[in-house]
């Protein structure tokens, strides 16, 4: 099989699941990961004959992609804020939007020594990206899933970054954490009514624990974290959240009711109200 035939096989086999541009991107990521071939390779050497072992790797990857398994789970890794992170089905695949949340925090929070807590950390992506850019900060990251924390710890070791990992349920009202200057969280926020517009690869393969909240309580995690913030944040501390754009107004009201000084909404690159910051004055 030639390289262009392999790419066309990807296109023909995956067109029920992905758009053509997405399939081409998957193919390029696959050959970059396994063979370190540049993304221009398909254009420059379309007639290159694949060796039997290369063909076998491409076929095996395609077979898994046809079951809607995300490529990042097949490769076992992804890149987040320039860090190579292990991912497996116990953790959500970090999203580009969440990189924007990290960038916002880095823009606003300077180099001074700070204590920062990442709640619902999953792969550890947010905590680790902050640890990389702000080595003087003391970072703690919390998740309820022991399996997710195992992966987060592997990611911190592989990147030589120090974070205190803690297994805890942020919904437990009795939860206490050491005082901190800043809380960040990308908690579960997808409503069951949004399932119909979700891609099969997310629904079938990413952990439901990381995604969903009850339809009747969309702010479940934000409420618990804002309450936790009242007893945990130092004066003038801040909370940064990734949010469901459908719930931004409700969340601003909740923050006001719970005594937070003000809220600032930030849009993501798609123009959606995706992030919010609350400041805690008391």
Find residue 241's DSSP bridge partners. 185, 276
Stretch that binds ligand SAM, among 15-23, 68-76, 118-126, 265-273 (CB under 6 A): 118-126
Among 9, 144, 202, 246, binds ligand SAM (CB under 6 A): 144
Find residue 183's DSSP bridge partners. 117, 239
Distance separating alpha carbons of residues 32 and 199, to the nearest angstrom: 24
Among 115, 121, 140, 232, binds ligand SAM (CB under 6 A): 121
DSSP annotation of 2: B
Kindly state whether residue 120 participates in binding ligand SAM, applying the rule CB under 6 A. Answer: yes
Kindly state whether residue 243 participates in binding ligand SAM, applying the rule CB under 6 A. Answer: no
Whether residue 69 contacts residue 201, with contact meaning beta carbons closer than 8 Å, is answered with yes
Distance separating alpha carbons of residues 74 and 59, to the nearest angstrom: 13
Show the binding pattern over residues 208-237: x = contacts ligand SAM (CB under 6 A), - = does not: -xx---------------------------
Show the binding pattern over residues 65-104: x = contacts ligand SAM (CB under 6 A), - = does not: --------------------------xx-x---x------
Whether residue 130 contacts residue 139, with contact meaning beta carbons closer than 8 Å, is answered with yes
DSSP annotation of 120: S
Stretch that binds ligand SAM, among 24-32, 105-113, 114-122, 226-234 (CB under 6 A): 114-122
Stretch that binds ligand SAM, among 139-147, 193-201, 233-241, 274-282 (CB under 6 A): 139-147
* CA-to-CA dists, residue 140 to 34, 165, 169, 189, angstroms: 34, 6, 14, 22
For ligand SAM, the binding residues in 164-183 under the rule CB under 6 A are 169-171
User: Cβ closer to ligand SAM: 31 or 90?
Assistant: 90
Residue 21 CB, shortest distance to ligand SAM, in Å, is 24
* CA-to-CA dists, residue 99 to 47, 61, 68, 239, 269, angstroms: 38, 27, 24, 16, 11
Kindly state whether residue 3 participates in binding ligand SAM, applying the rule CB under 6 A. Answer: no
Kindly state whether residue 246 participates in binding ligand SAM, applying the rule CB under 6 A. Answer: no
CB atoms within 10 A of CB 166: 16
Distance separating alpha carbons of residues 206 and 102, to the nearest angstrom: 22
Sites of contact with ligand SAM (CB under 6 A): 91-92, 94, 98, 120-123, 125-126, 142-145, 148, 169-171, 186-188, 209-210
């Amino acid at each position: 099989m030639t390289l262009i035939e392999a790419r066309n096989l990807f296109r023909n086999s995956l067109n029920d699941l992905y758009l053509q541009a997405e399939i081409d991107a998957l193919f390029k990521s696959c050959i970059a990961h396994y063979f370190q071939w540049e993304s221009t390779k398909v254009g420059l050497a379309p007639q290159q004959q694949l060796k039997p072992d290369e063909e076998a790797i491409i076929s095996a990857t395609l077979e898994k992609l046809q079951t809607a398994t995300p490529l990042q789970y097949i490769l076992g890794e992804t890149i987040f804020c320039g860090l190579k992170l292990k991912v497996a089905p116990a953790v959500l695949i970090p999203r580009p939007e969440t990189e924007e949340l990290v960038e916002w925090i880095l823009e606003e929070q300077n180099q001074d020594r700070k204590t920062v807590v990442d709640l619902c950390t999953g792969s550890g992506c947010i905590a680790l990206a902050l640890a990389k850019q702000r080595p003087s900060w003391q970072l703690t990251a919390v998740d309820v899933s022991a399996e997710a924390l195992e992966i987060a710890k592997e990611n911190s070791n592989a990147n030589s970054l120090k974070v205190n990992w803690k297994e805890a349920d942020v919904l437990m009202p009795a939860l206490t954490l050491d005082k901190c200057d800043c809380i960040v969280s990308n908690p579960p926020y997808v409503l069951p009514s949004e399932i119909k517009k979700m891609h099969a690869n997310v629904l079938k393969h990413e952990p439901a624990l990381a995604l969903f909240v009850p339809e009747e309580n969309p702010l479940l995690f934000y409420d618990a974290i804002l309450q936790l913030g009242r007893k945990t944040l130092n004066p003038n501390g801040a909370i940064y959240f990734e949010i469901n754009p459908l719930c931004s107004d409700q969340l601003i009201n909740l923050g006001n009711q719970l005594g937070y000084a003000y809220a600032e909404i930030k849009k993501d690159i798609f123009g959606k109200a995706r992030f919010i910051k609350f400041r805690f004055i008391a």
